[in-house]
């Protein structure tokens, strides 16, 4: 409207211009494009310009005042937000959320990862992995003995962070690859926005910078991220020089050793009540699939003895499958070496659990009640004859579990355990109140910036802008603290945008949910479709600003 009104004086001036025709037939006005205006004409133009500028200022002041009145009205309406929020639907913490339409009646084969998919672990597992990894770094890599005093901090990391192997920073990125202004840590110290820009030049991560980032995406990355930050902080405090790349390599090698050596597996099985969570609903889900005539397979990187011990513990209260859980599955594959499983041509080997040996005969069929090691997707499809679109695979690791199946044409289901807690928080009135404040203030800020140019900033504009930014910052900070004190929500940034982790879920998961047995809440022939009104992630709800407009 302001731009339109600025055109009005100019249009009036053109309309007042008179023209005459000379003898030569050339149309002439007060001046030609190449002519020189008289002093009287220049004075008239200056006065006209001042008039237009004054009119523009009045219009802009009116618009700023209008935005200010709307902001004041919104603040008053926030007092009745809890009543308005009661009419809003709550998202289901155990729901299935859809990125790509999925008809369950077309799915004939269900495949599962083991760790954090079929097996549910307690929070004690992260401390176990952290402690075993730090001990390996001290004993084998000769890190300082003081590192043995480090303790795992469950309040520090979230899934989906990135580590910069050159700069040594832990980063939370948004959907478009920019560093969250409140989500960059060097060691255990949060960096300011100014420090981020000094290190990276900009908050956006370019292609060259992205090459040196490593994603921490699976559930075991919690202990890895925390140990990296603690080691970096030690070197900083001790004023010792270090290469950030070496820190990552050593921590990653220690974490891999904990898994591959079996020391973590033995620790879990030595005290399963401390680390494993029993789940009768999981057995009910698997039995239901069998009764519906579905094919089931287990595809895991873990060794068979570990899977067997865990499944026996989790199903020990069931008389049907306590000692014969393998009867639930048509094919059991352990030590699959994902993600190489999806691209390599490794042969399958039949595993003898009693002798702990691998057979030398070629595997050209999957026999009942047998266990198989290694293998590859190409051989798996040749043996089973299962077609891609009729297969769905459940896993928690977006890269190792789901990227390969997604590219192979399988349907994919991401198991994201923290989804349940995050939805419960988003359903709370306290969160939705701050969310409403944030979105409404963001909308008003956009209008303010679109209305006023740099040369037209007034005192009223500056005052309103400061107040709006202050409200936005406070709401953003309150929402973040409801999730994780260091990095906030797994799926959202502090500006309400989807995170890079959410981007990868959107890219590789057809559907996502907190645990596989949530499928029991839906008919086995259900058609799961993408909601028409989603922003990016289907489980996110934006509080409508219409709830806070005055009647």
Closest CA to 17 of 25, 26, 27: 27
Are 398 and 504 spatial neighbours (Cβ–Cβ below 8 Å)?
yes
* Alpha-carbon distances, residue 527 vs 23, 100, 389, 402 (angstroms): 82, 11, 14, 21
Closest CA to 486 of 61, 187, 249: 187
| Residues 511, 217: Cα–Cα separation, whole Å | 17
The annotation places the binding site at 113, 115, 396
Please state at what angle helix 418-427 crosses helix 429-451, rounded to 10 degrees.
70
DSSP string over 354-384: TTTEE--S---S--TT-EEEE--HHHHHHHH
The terminus-to-terminus CA distance of the chain in angstroms comes to 25
Residue/partner pairs of 24-33 with CB below 8 Å, 24 or more apart: none
Residue 233 in 3-state DSSP? helix
Tokens 């008179």, residue located: 18
> How far does CA 122 lie from the centroid of its chain?
22
Whether residue 339 has a cis bond before it, omega within 30° of 0: yes
Among 56, 115, 317, 421, the one annotated catalytic: 115
To the query of whether residue 113 is one of the catalytic residues in this protein, the response is: yes
| Residues 428, 134: Cα–Cα separation, whole Å | 38
Are 437 and 84 spatial neighbours (Cβ–Cβ below 8 Å)?
no
Torsion of CA 403, 404, 407, 409, to 10 degrees: -110
* Alpha-carbon distances, residue 141 vs 18, 133, 246, 255 (angstroms): 90, 11, 11, 13
The annotation places the binding site for Mg(2+) at 113, 396
To the query of whether residue 115 is one of the catalytic residues in this protein, the response is: yes
Neighbours of 118 (CB within 10 A): 24
Rg (CA), the chain: 31
| Residues 359, 371: Cα–Cα separation, whole Å | 11
Among 105, 113, 164, 182, the one annotated catalytic: 113
The annotation places the binding site for GMP at 115
Positions marked active-site? 113, 115
């Amino acid at each position: 409207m302001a731009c339109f009104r600025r055109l009005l004086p100019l249009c009036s001036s053109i309309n007042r211009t008179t023209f005459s025709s000379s003898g030569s037939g050339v149309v002439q006005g007060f001046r030609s494009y190449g002519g020189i205006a008289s002093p009287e004409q220049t004075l008239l133009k200056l006065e006209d310009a001042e008039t237009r500028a004054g009119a523009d200022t009045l219009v802009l002041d009116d618009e700023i005042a209008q935005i200010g009145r709307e902001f004041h009205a919104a603040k008053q309406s926030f007092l009745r937000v809890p009543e308005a929020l009661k009419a809003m639907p709550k998202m289901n913490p155990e729901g299935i959320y859809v990125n790509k339409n999925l008809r369950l009646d077309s799915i004939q084969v269900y495949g599962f990862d083991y760790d954090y998919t079929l097996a549910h672990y307690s929070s004690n597992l992260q401390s176990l992995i952290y402690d075993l990894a730090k001990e390996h770094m001290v004993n084998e890599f000769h890190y300082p003995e003081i590192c043995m005093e480090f303790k795992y901090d469950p309040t520090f990391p979230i899934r989906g962070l990135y580590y910069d192997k050159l700069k040594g920073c832990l980063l939370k990125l948004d959907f478009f690859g920019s560093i969250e202004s409140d989500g960059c840590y060097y060691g255990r110290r949060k960096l300011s926005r100014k420090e981020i820009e000094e290190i990276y030049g900009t908050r956006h991560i370019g292609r060259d910078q992205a090459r040196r980032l490593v994603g921490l995406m699976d559930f075991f990355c919690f202990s890895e991220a925390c140990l990296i930050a603690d080691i970096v902080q030690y070197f900083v405090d001790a004023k010792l020089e270090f290469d950030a790349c070496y820190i990552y390599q050593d921590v990653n090698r220690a974490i891999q050793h904990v898994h591959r050596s079996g020391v973590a597996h033995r620790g879990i099985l030595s005290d399963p009540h401390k680390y494993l969570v029993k789940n009768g609903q999981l057995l009910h889900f698997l039995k239901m699939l069998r009764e519906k005539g579905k094919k089931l397979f287990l595809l895991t990187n873990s060794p068979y003895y570990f899977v067997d011990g865990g499944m026996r513990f989790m199903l020990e209260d069931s008389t049907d499958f306590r000692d014969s859980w393998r009867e639930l599955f048509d094919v059991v594959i352990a030590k699959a070496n994902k993600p190489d499983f999806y691209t390599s041509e490794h042969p399958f080997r039949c595993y003898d659990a009693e002798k702990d040996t691998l057979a030398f005969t070629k595997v050209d069929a999957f026999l009942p009640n047998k266990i198989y090691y290694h293998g590859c997707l190409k051989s798996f499809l040749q043996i089973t004859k299962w077609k891609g679109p009729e297969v769905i695979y459940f896993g928690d690791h977006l890269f190792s579990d789901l990227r390969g199946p997604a590219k192979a044409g399988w349907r994919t289901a991401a198991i994201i355990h923290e989804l349940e807690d995050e939805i419960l928080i988003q359903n709370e009135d306290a969160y939705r109140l701050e969310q409403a404040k944030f979105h409404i203030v963001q909308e008003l800020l956009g209008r303010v910036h679109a209305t006023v140019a740099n040369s037209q900033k007034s005192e009223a504009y500056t005052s309103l802008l400061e107040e709006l930014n202050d409200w936005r910052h406070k709401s953003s900070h309150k929402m973040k603290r409801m999730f994780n004190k260091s990095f906030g929500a797994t799926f959202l940034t502090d500006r309400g945008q989807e995170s890079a982790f959410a981007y990868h879920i959107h890219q590789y998961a057809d559907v996502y949910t907190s645990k596989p047995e949530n499928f029991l809440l839906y008919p086995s022939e259900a058609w799961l479709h993408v909601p028409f009104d989603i922003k990016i992630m289907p489980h996110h709800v934006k509080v409508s600003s219409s709830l806070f407009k005055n009647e």
